[in-house]
Chains A and B, each alone.
Chain A
């Protein structure tokens, strides 16, 4: 039984097939890589899994139940969340508030509880505060607690987005180019952080990345996409030596040289 399974998933935009008949099986506790040239359909697959787009065809299963007919927030509820290629933080809120907001459904109190400051509210807020502080520490953001998100350096914004996703206690985390725009040192730190998060939160991770050394280092298994179709699937060593993959990445003209 796989944690996430895509069966023959297709997404068309007008005449363009952004994703065509893709099959994908991600097992629990795995770090799974999704790579491919620009416009291959990687982000579109994330948008399909998280319900931002509806599939044209095919089915998506999580924990053996269908999720492609759920709304985005319901998919988050069952334990799937993500980061975005172009960072989408709550820009005018602080680092702490970004994380605190995302902790919201780890406690249940009604709006009336809030209005009357009931015991349930006080207890709930205390719990959320503790969780947020814990995440700040794990992600090394505690000294930026009160910095407004849009004023954080770029690398830390990416990190905060991961922290915000972890606040949901997801089972499956989708990372869309988490190392984009990072320098080699930051990328190395990120690698560590992703591994640490996987172990500590018992996560399964699906990651899109263009940094090949990061992907090859990090992933247990990789799927390569090209023009919306699966080009290859396998362990990093196989992928690196697959002639189709080399060709797709270098372009036909270059491959002949």
Chain B
């Protein structure tokens, strides 16, 4: 394996991770499932590509622009559908994702279903890593605030959240918007990495992949999402040698993890270096204490 190849996998993992981080807030911390986040990625991808290629905007401003557009559409979608009870919201997101793709299929200005080639390659490993670090810091800071706790409360018990004064609708909307912004930025990165956009890239299967990564990593764990994004993006590439068995093995791995660890790899826990050091220290101390007693 050449470095070029590994770098490619890392960049794709990183691009996925940005979207997964946002979805982790929505699904892992607020308890709302979505099967339409590929739609937000598509909005971000086309908006960012439009900004750089047609308006000549700076790449990073264009990424923010893409994220913002996705966030605005997320707001509208949320306003319309978040009042629906649980399962109906999922169906609404599914419909939204597919509608987004069909709309783009028909916008000839962006190349329609044939696609849009020749987008500049501004995405590289460095900026993907930096954006992920920023994305993780923002996410963790939100989660460790009263706003994040309100979202967790909604995930745990909606009625109790209401009676302690949490505006459940408002917080679901905030969570959806933030996750849409993350997906939008991820889409912008993808457009400027592949250099080519086609509505087909943002099918239901893409939304499902993002949700699988969040669940695989463990709901309510940011580190789980990071590990999940890297493992599950790399896995199909690593398995490329076994050709037609690739997707079977991918599916089998996911099922295996779900059966052996239904809470996901990390399941609500965070991987902290300090914890591990503490554990090792306490293990080292244990025999010493025995000698004393």
Contact = CB atoms under 8 A, between A and B. Distances in A.
B173 to A, nearest CB: 12
Given A88-B157, A109-B146, A125-B145, A76 B163 contact: yes
A239 interface: no
Interface stretch (A15-23, A98-106, A181-189): A98-106
Interface string A79-106: 0011010001111110001001110110
Contacts of B165: 73, 76-77, 81, 104-105, 168
Contacts of B141: 114-117
A73 B163 CA distance: 6
Contacts of B220: 92
Interface string B157-171: 101111111111000
A101 B149 contact: yes
Please tell me the size bucket of the interface on A: 35 or more
Interface string B132-166: 00000010011011111110110011011111111
A166 to B, nearest CB: 11
A100 B147 CA distance: 12
B174 interface: yes
Contacts of B144: 114
The prevalent SS among residues of B at the interface is helix
A5 B44 CA distance: 53
B162 A104 contact: no
B160 A84 contact: yes
Contacts, number: 97
B115 interface: no
Contacts of A75: 163
Contacts of A81: 163-165
Contact of B156 (A72, A91, A115): A91
Contact of A114 (B145, B152, B153, B157): B145
Contact of A72 (B157, B162, B268): B162
Contacts of A240: none
Contacts of A102: 164
Interface in B55-101: none
A98 to B, nearest CB: 9
Interface string A22-55: 0000000000000000000000000000111000
Nearest to A105: B165
B147 A101 contact: no
B150 to A, nearest CB: 6
A107 interface: yes
A82 B163 contact: yes
A240 B157 CA distance: 38
Given A50-B163, A72-B163, A89-B157, A128 B146 contact: yes
A114 B25 CA distance: 15
Contact of B268 (A73, A77, A92, A100): A92
A121 interface: yes
A75 B166 CA distance: 11
A247 B214 CA distance: 59
Contacts of B268: 92
A170 to B, nearest CB: 10
A71 B167 CA distance: 9
A46 to B, nearest CB: 10
Most buried by A among B149, B164, B167: B164
Contacts of A104: 146, 149-150, 164-166
B145 A101 contact: no
Nearest to A114: B145
Contacts of A71: 162, 167
Nearest to B174: A111
Contacts of A155: none
Given A111-B142, A111-B145, A114-B145, A52 B162 contact: yes
Interface string B215-244: 000001000000000000000000000000
A137 B262 CA distance: 36
A167 interface: yes
Given A101-B164, A165-B164, 12 more contacts: A51-B162, A52-B162, A73-B167, A76-B164, A89-B156, A101-B153, A104-B150, A104-B165, A111-B147, A114-B142, A114-B146, A121-B145
5 contacts: A72-B163, A100-B149, A101-B146, A104-B149, A124-B146
Interface of A: 50-52, 71-73, 75-77, 81-82, 84, 88-93, 97, 100-102, 104-105, 107, 109, 111, 113-117, 121, 124-125, 128, 164-165, 167-168
Q: Can you list the 3 inter-chain pairs with the closest CB atoms, starting with the nearest?
A: A114-B145, A76-B165, A72-B162
